[in-house]
Amino acid sequence: MDINERRDALRARVRKKLDGEEEIPGEDDDLVVQEHEITMSTTQNEDLLLIDDKSGLLTLASSLIFIGSVLGIITGLLLLQGNPTDLLGNTLEVDDVIDVRGIVLESESGDSMEDVTIELLEIGSNTVLQTASTNSYGYYEFQNVAPEKHIIRVTLEGYNSVERTIIATNVNQDAFTMTPGEGTVTEDETISSTGWTLENAVALSTGIALVTIIAGVVGLYSAVGARKQQNYRRTQYLAGIALFSRGFIVFGPFLILCGMGLMVLAKDEFEQPEVE
């Protein structure tokens, strides 16, 4: 007879006494409860409560890691959504014809120069396509120019001529600086720059967004591992990787760290708490 059956028998005996019924001889023998049985029963109940508490900690840890990882995935998607790809596309879009504008300055005084002759030449043949003169503010403009390589020649009596090779864009050209002399200064602005470009910024932003999303997905696997109580150390490593998801900068990593701390408290409940 186990402890539960004995308790039921004891309750029945008390009821009989209260009802005034006579006791059956020998019935008390089965109701003797040993002290070690009571201690064992109490210990088992305490162990069950402890197990329930630790299971609750793992459930909470799994939930925190899951929420932090989801925040990281959302952050990565927002980074992709805010990617300047559209800006890059608009920058690279080329119209059929554009207007080319610029200014001419005097090298020593820095003042704008009026009535300077500006010629737009075709690459290769040096054919003059358009001619313009600077206004009183030193500005010039060529209209309906094909967006390709051209040469702009700037001439004024008493100053060195400037021949600059450009790729025609809607952006204002760099200022021409006229220096006294009788020679010709050649410039080339078509040489590509080796510095940081918009394409580099787009690539970096996309890479960060992808790493953020991948780290968030790894965090989801960690949350599942904590929920199923499988392999403590691997689950902690995956949660550590999930920190790179950077969910809303600090909120996601904070939740994941809290989940990792709770797993430390309940690591004995894992199937493989430590790696030998």
Q: Which two tokens stand for residue 241?
A: 């990787």
Q: Which two tokens stand for residue 63?
A: 């939930």
* Cβ-proximal residues to 113 (8 Å cutoff; 6+ apart), any chain: 104, 105, 106, 134, 138, 156, 178
**Would strands 149-155 and 161-167 be described as parallel, antiparallel, or unpaired?**
antiparallel
Tell me the β-bridge partners of 131.
Answer: 119
Q: Which two tokens stand for residue 223?
A: 């949350």
Distance of alpha carbon 259 from alpha carbon 66, whole angstroms: 9
Q: Is the pTM of this model over 0.85?
A: no
* Cβ-proximal residues to 197 (8 Å cutoff; 6+ apart), any chain: none
From first to last of the 276 residues of the chain, give the pLDDT tens digit: 556 676 677 777 767 766 665 555 554 444 454 555 545 544 554 444 444 556 788 889 999 999 999 999 999 999 888 655 555 555 555 567 889 999 999 998 999 999 999 999 999 898 999 999 999 999 999 999 998 999 999 999 999 999 999 988 877 888 999 999 999 999 998 876 556 767 788 888 889 999 999 999 999 999 999 988 888 999 999 999 999 998 988 999 999 999 999 999 888 888 766 544
